[in-house]
Amino acid sequence: MTQIMRRFDPKEIREDFPILSRRIGGKPLAYLDNAATTQKPRQVLEAMQEFYEQKNANVHRAVHTLSYEATVAYEAAHRRVAEFIHASGPEEIIFTRNATEALNLVAYAWGLWELREGDEVLLTVMEHHSNLVPWLALRRLKGISLKFIDVNERGLLKLEELSRLLSKRTRLVGCIYASNVLGTVNPVEEIIEAAHRFGALVLVDGAQAVPHMPVDVKELDCDFLAASGHKMLGPTGTGFLYAKRELLEEMEPFLYGGDMIETVTLEAATWNKLPWKFEAGTANIAGGIGLAAAVDYLERLGMEAVYDHERRLLEFAWERLARVEGVKLYGPAPGEAARLGIISFNLEGVHPHDLAMVLDSEGIAIRSGHHCAQPLMARLGMEFAARASFYIYNTEEEVERLAAAVEEAKAAFRVRS
């Protein structure tokens, strides 16, 4: 296992990230769009470069040295991810392009084959589109029913609805672990336990949780968990699905072709062992190796330390932005509920896209839009919002710059308080 750092120093961490030395519009880059994707440390970039320079070959297809070394490294990457989330083994880790593909894999490799007309899938109003749209498609294809756990005005799930919505017809409960809009950490343990009492499987969207807090899939007892590698310092085009081995053994493949087969005749085919049964074709080998390097980096920091750092930044940013007249903050305040380092907000009289452009002119990168969560946005009474999201390399100085730039935007647009 990777040795944990004794001291968490974001300024020291920043030295590992070449892009953070950039200047935007003459100003130092303050990258506050980490919920969309994170920056990559040198250790990840070098691991991928070393693969391409020294080991580049396809995996599982040849006996020559390069193919052997590539295969060893790629399979080791699955083991590192399995260790990171405490899966039983690498056979429970399917590498995908992103969390979206992982969620779709469940919908089509499990849902398309297992769900029948009248079966129910229970989701939350808080879901990212990636864990909503596939089930909408299956409702059209299979005639399933969709139910939704609502949120209250503070952006917290109405858990009192859970027992009412669960029934013997519930086949799957899908829940986002942490909201990409509000940063709210949902009580997934309670949801999983309740769902299992009704015999339902549970799919957890861990895209925002896995990069920012300790996650133990055995402790959670979730049946599926999706995550994005690129949101946890890994390269873009990487993600993974965790699933209990017995489920993966029973499920049909999602994609068909090379490497996912054991035998093929003109009449039939049989499937490869796990996890390769679900990884058809030439893989993103360098991406998987880069993801393993990202896991090494995060484990060296310690996930508790990552969570604590973000919590401190969140508390500071919430207090600082709340002092700007005309700013509306969404979700529960820090201390009211478990939250990650994500703040969605609006400035009265200023469109979030305009605000984001003003901030960009100050070198500050944030997100503006509906954040792929339109039902939640509508439930909270907004169409768009600005979003600042923090990670391991962000500092209080950058939060100060954010708040000061919002003040300047208010003055520039002559917003009346």
Active-site residue list: 372
The Cα–Cα gap between 220 and 177 comes to: 11
- Record the tokens describing residue 184, joined without a space: 């709210």
The Cα–Cα gap between 122 and 173 comes to: 5
Q: DSSP label at 80? A: H
Torsion angle of the four alpha carbons 300, 302, 307, 310, in this order, in degrees rounded to the nearest 10: -30
The Cα–Cα gap between 374 and 364 comes to: 25
Q: Is the peptide bond prior to 275 cis by the omega test (within 30 degrees of 0)?
A: yes
The Cα–Cα gap between 131 and 145 comes to: 15
Alpha helices in 115-187 (DSSP H): 133-142, 162-165
Contact predicate 19/39, CB 8 Å = yes
**Residues comprising the chain, all counted:** 417
Residue type present at position 267: E
Strands 224-228 and 201-205, sheet pairing: parallel
The Cα–Cα gap between 35 and 12 comes to: 22
The CA-based angle 102-287-52, given to 5 degrees, is: 155
Q: Three-state DSSP class for 399?
A: helix
Q: DSSP label at 33? A: B
Q: Three-state DSSP class for 100?
A: helix
